[in-house]
């Protein structure tokens, strides 16, 4: 277990342009994101489920307190970043969780990013309408 001076275990998660800095410590299962409870920060159930997925798989839901600082991106990207950050912190907390977290795909960074728009086209891949005559 790798703790800092204050007793925190840190994990960083990124998804699209969102960055999550996650801190874990022993506790009663409180999850706070940017100073707000997870229920008020993420209004959609799927995003809340993403955040707690790694905790549920490792059965640490009621055993640790999670504090997350999120920046950038949208709700989906932020939920994915939080998931990766929590999974990395749990792995630091207990290296035996590595196999379970990796099997569920929680330790794999989703590298997909938005493709840039190209000049002479409507979007990244969509062309302007072609008219032969």
Per-residue pLDDT at 2 exceeds 80 = no
Task: Give the domain ranges of the chain.
Answer: 9-103
3 state DSSP class of 9: strand
pLDDT tens digits along 17-52:
999 999 999 999 999 999 999 999 999 999 999 999
pLDDT tens digits along 3-24:
777 889 999 999 999 999 999 9
3 state DSSP class of 77: helix
- Name the residue among 25, 21, 9 with its Cα closest to residue 64: 25
The model scores a pTM over 0.95? no
pLDDT above 70: percentage of residues in the chain: 100
Q: Domain spanning 9-103 has what CATH number? A: 3.30.230.10
pLDDT at position 3: 78
Q: Give CA 106 to chain center in angstroms.
A: 9
For the chain, what is the mean pLDDT?
94
């Amino acid at each position: 277990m790798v703790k800092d001076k204050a007793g925190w275990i840190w994990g960083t998660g990124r998804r699209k342009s969102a960055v999550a800095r996650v801190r874990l410590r022993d506790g009663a299962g409180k999850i706070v994101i940017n100073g707000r409870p997870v229920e008020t920060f993420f209004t959609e159930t799927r995003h809340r489920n993403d955040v707690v997925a790694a905790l549920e798989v490792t059965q640490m839901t009621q055993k640790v307190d999670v504090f997350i600082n999120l920046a950038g991106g949208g709700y989906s990207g932020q939920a994915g970043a939080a998931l990766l950050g929590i999974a990395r912190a749990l792995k630091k907390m207990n290296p035996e969780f590595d196999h379970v977290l990796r099997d569920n795909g929680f330790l794999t960074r989703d590298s997909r990013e938005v493709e840039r728009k190209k000049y002479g086209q409507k979007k990244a891949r969509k062309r302007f309408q072609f008219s032969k005559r």
